[in-house]
Every structure is written in structure tokens, then in C-alpha cells.
Chain A
Amino acid sequence: MKRNHWYAALFLAPAAICLLVFSYLPLIQDVWLSFHTWNMVSPTMKFVGLQNYQQLCSGTELSKVLFNTLLYVFILIILNFILPYLLSFIMAHGMTSCNFFYRSALFIPSTLSLAVASIIFLWILNPLAGPLHIILSEIGLESPRWFKESGFAIAAIGMIIGWKVFGYNLIVMLAAMVAVPQDLLEAAKLENASKWQIFRHIILPLTSPTALYVFVITVVFGLQYVLVPVNMLTQGGPDQGSTNLVYIIYQYGFIFFQTGKAAAFAVLTIFFYSGFLLLKAVLDKKVHYEN
């Protein structure tokens, strides 16, 4: 038995050490850094206690950043969770032909990088020379200045991320939809169950584990994806109108060189995500796992 433990520890060690060195150690260092001011190049760090947190909470910036973050979450959930869910349902249980074509066509964007997606959208949304402007002006509308009006900027960046992530989430959801056993569905049909009943009592529970997974990655990865288009297209502007919890860390750390404040924002982000994980834990109980 004891020998077994040693073996187990031995095999776990590489993974555990990596996790410790690359995940938990930086986490502790981050908390430590958040009590200091340091510009990344000066040889000395100055201990300032809770000052970084105080400054962070006293400004108007924090509320703006949190509000933007929630707005991003809202848009991302619609584009990358609800829409793929509905579409995968239709593709698995409503469509009879062209399935392969749709699958590939919708999946292709997710193979491109976000930087490429950003450039493509920059061109499409150009308020003077872009194709969208041409279409809008044909019907007598004026194109908004997408990246210079705060609500529009978040919507446009959400769209870029949606364009990239949608296909992948769809394929994952589709796999779950297709895996719903046919005999169950046919039995329900024989019992004269309505479409809604079939959806509510068979498909929804059986696809819920995958749906939860897609939901979590939509939020967790989606907010991180924001960094690339924001950095490339708006730098957090207009007037901090497109920044979020992830970009603000980057901005404080690598543009303002105030790593202490950046670290404080990072700690706050950890709390934000743990709040989200609590929600996930609640949802987890409602999910139907087969085994």
C-alpha cells in the first residue's frame, strides 16, 4: 500500500509541480505584488500596504470596468452560448440535408486567429469605406462610428469574439445533441409527447453537462479573448468605454507600468471569477450526469 502511494506521488509529481510553479506560485506572487508599487524596471519595490486597493475602490474607474465586464458577459452569452445552443438543436433534430456544409462553414472562422478577425472586422465596420457602410447608405442609414461610441465598441468587439468562438461552441453542442439516444426520442413520439415536452424533458437534461461546459468557457475564455481586439482596435477607448477587467490589468501593468495596481485588479478579477464559479457550482447540481 505504502509503495503504491509512492508510485502515485511519483507519477503525479510532474503535473503537480507544473501546476504549483506556473499557476499557484504566480497567484501568491500577484497578491504580494498588489501591496507594492513597482514600475517593472526599478530595482526596488516599495511596500504601500492597501493603498493600491484604496485607490482602486475610490475612483470612478472600477464601476465603469465592472459594468463593461458584465455587458461583455451578457453579449457573449447570447452570441456564444444561447445561439449555438438553439442552432445545434435545429441542426441535430430539425435539419435533414446540407448538415455537413453548415457545420464546416460555421466552424471555419474559429480556425483563424483573433488578430485576423479584428482586422477583418475593422475593414467591414469602417464608417466611411467599409462594406457595411455601403449597405447601410443604400437604405439611407448612416453607419455608426463603431469603435468610437462606447456601447457600439463593446458590441463590435463582442461580435468579433462571437465570430471566432461561435463555430467551436456549436460543434461541441452539436456533438451533445446528436448523442441524445434516438430510441428515447422515438419512444416519446409514440407517447404523443409534444415538441416542447421532448425538448424540455429529454434533450435539455441530456445535453446539460455539455451546455454547462460551453457556458463556462463562454464566460471564462470570452473575457480573456477581449484583450486582443481591444488592444488592437480601441486600446480601451473611447474614454475607457471598451475596457474590461482583463484589459485594465494589461493597461496598468504594461502601458502605465504600475504593476502594483495591475496586481490589485488581478486579485479583484480572481474574486469576480470565483463568484462565477459559485454560480457554476449551483448550476452543477441541476445538471444531469449519466454516471
Chain B
Amino acid sequence: MNKLQKALVLFFIGTLTIGAAGCGGASTTTQSSSEKTKIEYWHVAAESFGGATVKSLVEQFNKENPDIEVVEKYNPDMYKGLTQNLQAAMASGNNPDVVQMGYSYLNYAAENLKYDNIEELIAKQSPEDKTFLQDNFLPNVLALAKTSDGKQIGIPYSMSVPVLYYNPEIFKQAGLDPDRPPQTWQEVVKAAKTIKDKTGNVGFFMQEYADNWAQQALIESNGGQVLTQKDGKTVAGFDSPEAAEAYQLLADMVKDGSGLHATNEEGFQAFLSGKLGMVCTTIGKRENFEKSAKFTVESTQFPSFAGKTKKVPAGGNFLMVFSKDAQKQKAAWRFIKFLESPESLATWTKGTGYLPPRKGVTEDPNGLKQFTEENKNMQSAMSQMPYIVNWASFPGANGLQAEQALIDVRDIILSGKETAASALKAAAEKVNALL
């Protein structure tokens, strides 16, 4: 009994001391940083996905700017998790200052969050940068962080685009020239067929994630639209002949065996083990593909439809500001300028595989000049910058469920149960009922 009492007393003293030490520690840090402007940067970069790069960038900024202290905070569960934390933080008045927001959350963020209008912020806090956005970003890239009514709610930061990866060894076996990969969808169909006939391997696979990102690129490159405006309301636009034609092209490939309809992971596994000729998916997979394939992975631009302009939706995120007082707004803007500098963007691209949103980073010797020259696969993504469009963002409370209808219809079309035209029509009715 005596021993137990002693142990308990020791335990309590121990906890008390640790607690006191903790308080002491906390109070000293607040004191030393009180003359600095402290801002919080929220991001979704997990340790395996650019987290180390975010840390090193923030560290560098803090070193170069002794009057500002940026604190980075990782939010798990991507943009959904970040948004939830953001709502909670704003309710309690402790909002962060700079935040990474996903492009597909554009409408949601504009409708539900109290953000700082970025153009007003620049005009007020840093008038000398008034033309910073126009000078450094392509208009189609700036539009990625613009709502449909024209409000610039943030600044594009990370971008990914779809590209066509291919296996040059299979190309050679099939008698195709690996230096002249298909540039149009008609050529893709032909190449897939040749691969199937000559080598027995399946020719083509388009990513089937639980979203319609790559399929949107296909539909819109053929002149179709995923969403369209009608009487001031957003409605489904994918029940058009152009969309059906584009989708039917995929379905026909699957039907004659030259295309694959499978889960994403299955398709990627098959490609990496050399059983599949071409895969259409995000440039974000580049590093992973290059590392795990048994062959040299090569890539080219997302194919177009003959005579039509290609359109590729951007994945990734943009930066939003939520600071309230002037000093923090100034600091936040300086931090954003640092993040969007060619040097930092180059670091970010190398650490993640995202494309830089800013003009000229690719040619800048301080930027990615050397990197792009060495990495051909990066070039096929970067050359698509002029074709970038907004990732369709389904509005309203049922938006995400509406998007699911379009995911479901992909299975219906590719399994050959219905023709693309009739399946898309049925899905459009479902989506319109939900929007």
C-alpha cells in the first residue's frame, strides 16, 4: 500500500511538472514572436505528397523575412478535411491566412466561405503589384480561380493536366513509331487496334477514378460540354451528340478488345507490367510511373479530335486568403508572392509533379529550364498550358451526388450495356433533377 501511494504521488508530481513546463514553454514562444507578424498557411500536402517541400519552402521564407513568421499546418483528408477545419476555425474566429483550395471546390468555397477578395487586397495593401496577376498568369489559368460571375477568389497555385503515357517497347513490337505517338483520337483508336492485332496486348486505357476529370477532357475536346448555362441555371450539357460521339469512341475500343474497362489500379498495374500500350491519366502519376515501370515510360499531349481545339481541365489547387487585419493581409500577400516566384514554383513542381501556373517558369534558368530539358514527360504536360479549362464543378447541395450519376454512366457506357447517346441522355435527366 505504502509503495503504491508513493508511486501515485510521484506520478502526480510528474504530470504537474510536465504540465507546468508545457505552459512555460508556450508562454515564452508567444513572447519572442510577438513583434513578428504571424500568419498560418493551411495545406493538404501529406508527407508522401509534397509535405517536405511545403516545409522547406516555409522555412526558407521565414529565414528571408525576419519580420514575418509563417506557420504551416497540414490538413488530412484533402480539401474536404481542410474545408471542415476551416469552417470550424472561422466559427471560432481563429481563421488561417493562406489556404490551398481544390479547383473542384471553387463554387463551394465562393458560396460558403468569407474570403478576402484577392484583387481588392492587392490594390489596398500592395498597390505596386496591381498588375501582378495579369502580368504573370495566362488568362485561362487565372480563370481557374474565378467563379462563373467573374470574381477572382484566389490565385492558381498547383495544376495537373491529363497526358497520354505509352510503352515504346509495345509500340515497336506492333510496328508503330515510338517517336511519333498518336496526336488525335482517331490515331489513338488506330494505334490501339494495331497493338491488339500485332502483339495481343490491350492498346488503351483511360483513368477511371471516382471523378470525371479525364472524361471531361475527352468530351470537351470534341466540342461537347459537361455543364452548361440555361436560363441562368447550370444544367447538364453532356447529352449532346459531340459528347456521345466522344464517349462512344471509348466504348467501341473496349468492345473490340483494343481498349480496357477496369478499375484504375488494374489499368495502371497492367500498363506498368508491360501488358498495355497506352494510358491516359494525370501528369501527377509521372514520377510513380517512371519509377515503377519495367520500361522507359514516354508520354505525349492529351490527344485532340481532328480539326478541333483540345480542352484539358486543371486539377490541383489555388491559394485563398482569409486574413482580417491589414498587417496580416500584407504578410499573406508577401508569402503568396514568394510561393508564386519562379524559384519556389520550380521547387514545388519537382517535389510534387504539379505544373507551375505562372508564365515563363519553364524557360526561366532559375526555374524549371534544366528540369524540363532533362524530363521529356514534363514537356508534354507543360505544352498544354494554353488549353487548360475549368474542371466542371457541380453546384448546389446535391452537386456531388449529381457528379456520381456521371460516374455511374461511365460504367454503363463502357460495359456496352447501352449506347453512349441513350445512357448520357438518361444521366442528364437524373443530373438535372438533382441540380
Contacts and interface: CB of A to CB of B under 8 A. Distances in A.
Interface stretch (A77-85, A202-210, A230-238): A230-238
Given A122-B265, A126-B266, A129-B275, A256 B407 contact: no
Nearest to A42: B112
A256 B91 contact: no
Contacts of A43: 87, 91
B91 A238 contact: no
B269 A240 contact: no
Interface in A116-142: 122-123, 125-130
B408 A147 contact: no
Contacts of B80: 254, 257
A145 interface: yes
Contact of B269 (A129, A145, A148, A239): A129
Contacts of B407: 235, 237
Interface stretch (A33-41, A91-99, A173-181, A188-196): A33-41
Nearest to B201: A128
Given A41-B87, A42-B112, A128-B276, A255 B400 contact: yes
Interface in B362-403: 397-398, 400-401
A130 B260 CA distance: 14
B262 A127 contact: yes
Nearest to A123: B269
Interface residues of A, number: 33
B414 to A, nearest CB: 8
Contacts of A240: 408
What DSSP secondary structure best describes chain B's contact surface? helix
Contacts of B112: 41-42
Contacts of A238: 408, 411, 415
A284 interface: no
Contact of B411 (A39, A148, A233, A257): A148
Contact of A237 (B91, B260, B400, B408): B408
A239 B87 CA distance: 33
A128 B398 contact: no
Interface in B249-307: 260-263, 265-266, 269-270, 273, 275-276
A172 B401 CA distance: 42
B83 interface: yes
B210 interface: yes
Given A126-B266, A128-B276, A129-B270, A256 B400 contact: yes
Contacts of A169: none
B341 interface: no
Nearest to A128: B270
Nearest to A41: B87
A239 B411 contact: yes
B412 interface: yes
B415 A258 contact: no
Nearest to A257: B400
Given A43-B87, A240-B408, A128 B400 contact: no
A150 B54 CA distance: 42
B202 interface: yes
Interface string B298-333: 000000000000000000000000000000000000
Contact of A148 (B87, B263, B397, B398): B263
Interface in A254-291: 254-258
B46 to A, nearest CB: 17
A30 interface: no
Contacts of A42: 87, 112
Q: Determine the interface band of chain B, counting residues with CB < 8 A from chain A.
A: 20 to 34
A129 B266 CA distance: 8
Contacts of B37: none
Given A128-B276, A237-B408, A238-B411, A258 B397 contact: yes
Contacts of B411: 148, 237-239, 241
B173 interface: no
A40 B210 CA distance: 21
B184 interface: no
Contact of B261 (A41, A148, A258): A148
B273 A148 contact: no
A117 to B, nearest CB: 14
Given A128-B260, A129-B270, A257-B400, A148 B415 contact: yes
| Chain A CB within 10 Å, residue with most, of B201, B261, B404 | B404
A126 B270 contact: yes
Contact of B262 (A148, A235, A255, A257): A148
Contacts of B269: 122-123, 126, 128-130
Contacts of A239: 408-409, 411-412, 415
Contacts of B263: 122, 147-148, 233-234
B84 interface: yes
A229 to B, nearest CB: 11
A144 to B, nearest CB: 11
A172 to B, nearest CB: 33
Contacts of B210: 235, 237, 255
A258 B265 contact: no
Interface string A37-71: 10111110000000000000000000000000000
B84 A41 contact: yes
Nearest to A37: B397
Given A42-B112, A238-B415, A239-B411, A145 B262 contact: yes
A43 to B, nearest CB: 6
Nearest to A147: B263
Contacts of A241: 411
Nearest to B270: A128
20 contacts: A39-B397, A40-B84, A41-B83, A41-B87, A41-B112, A42-B87, A43-B91, A126-B270, A127-B266, A128-B270, A129-B270, A148-B411, A235-B407, A237-B411, A240-B408, A252-B401, A257-B80, A257-B400, A258-B397, A258-B398
Given A127-B266, A240-B408, 13 more contacts: A123-B269, A125-B266, A126-B262, A126-B266, A126-B269, A147-B262, A148-B414, A148-B415, A237-B407, A255-B400, A255-B404, A256-B404, A257-B80
